[in-house]
Amino acid sequence: MRTQVCIIGGGPSGLLLSQLLHRAGIDTVVVEQRTRDYVLSRIRAGVLERGLCNLLRKAGVGERMDREGLVHDGTLIAAAGRQFRISFKDRVNDSVVVYGQTEVTRDLYAARDAMGGLVIHEAEGVTLHGVDTDHPHVTYRKDGTEHRIDCDWIAGCDGFHGVSRKTIPDTVRTEHEKVYPFGWLGILSETPPVNHELIYANHARGFALCSMRNPALSRYYVQTPLDDTVEAWSDDRFWDELRRRIPAESAEALVTGPSIEKSIAPLRSFICEPMRWGRLFLVGDAAHIVPPTGAKGLNLAASDVHYLHLALEAFYLHNAPGEVDLYSERALARVWKASRFSWWMTSTLHRFPDQTDFDQRLQEAELAYLEQSEAAQTALAENYVGLPY
């Protein structure tokens, strides 16, 4: 098989890149290790920056998002038993959209099907060859048969544990990592959200987040130790702990119910440099991970897709091959800025194991300053809705 761009990974970043390139007349094949049902079963956050919303519209998959997504013009910050609101509209005249990542992926799959895009699922033993030459290719096994895809370029959209990043030699690849000493216990419940906007809560017992997927489906989180287990948390224990960590006015309004999904996620900041080697580009979680505080994971993957699809369009359509050489530099500049914001949100809102009462009071003072300072609110708002591409 021959294609122009072979995309490793059938998650939202791989599908979005494939869709954008297809609409520009550039041929792609997507290779995914898992089944489509598995990909669509993954529960992920769904706060979409303005840049990602515009990119989905450009790809022709924004209609359902625009119809069903929840537009958020601000967010709530809680600390020391009270909460305040930061208005994105007032500070930067912009907003975000709450629309689940699963729904984004579902829309992208539908678009690829409608355009006849080739997505190969259950591809085992995916291996990248000749990445440092002008003639790379990808091999994989499916139904017991070995297959080969020759291509001009390979886009590694296969996540943190995928094969793409590991294809770059250790002598070329530099990895930066910060592992946080806690995780997030999250539950999904078929209950109305406690507020129509997100609540980020700092508390001496640990961080909490009140979020949602839609008006009838809520997503809540509490900070837990790394060695904690889901089995140790009954629904009743979770709801009791969440009430303790959010202000009384929200705790009283909280509607509880049985959880339909419950999991613990560790938090880390991770960045791989460079994001291009030879004919291979890294995209999304294959190159970088951010803690979910600030909702930058999917949005950072989208900004990578933005830079890469324009570079490949320049290469194929405008006789401008130099644009691909700038991909890594451009993507990493935005990655580091978004990682700084996620680190700041995480450091300011969470309880660290060695944290003293002094440290807690400093966090509360930081948030009190945020409440009173238009400049500080503007800085948070412009990062939260997304820095420009």
Active site residue 200: yes
Which residue in this structure is represented by tokens 């440290």?
Answer: 359
Whether 72 is a known active-site residue: answer yes
Packing angle between helix 327-349 and helix 297-317, nearest 10 degrees? 170
- Extended strands (E) in 22-152: 28-31, 47-48, 70-72, 74-79, 82-87, 96-98, 118-120, 124-129, 137-142, 145-150
Annotated active-site residue in 22, 137, 288, 296: 296
Residues 99, 140, 327, 384: which is the catalytic one?
Answer: 384
- CA nearest neighbour of 243 among 81, 383, 389: 81
What is the Cα–Cα distance from 367 to 302, expressed in whole angstroms?
Answer: 30
Active-site residue among 12, 136, 193, 292?
292
SS3 (DSSP) at 229: coil
Q: Rounded to 5 degrees, what are φ and ψ at 280?
A: -110, 130
Cis peptide before 274 (omega within 30 of 0): yes
Cα dist from 134 to 25, 130, 207, 372, whole Å:
21, 8, 49, 56
Q: Residue 296 catalytic?
A: yes
Query: CA-CA distance, 39 to 42, in Å (whole number)?
Result: 6
Beta bridge partner(s), residue 87: 74
Choose, from 200, 220, 307, 327, the residue flagged as catalytic. Answer: 200
Please calculate the CA angle 331-307-35 and round it to the nearest 5 degrees.
95
E strands of 228-303, at which residues?
259-273, 276-277, 280-282, 288-289
Q: Which residues are catalytic?
A: 72, 200, 292, 296, 384
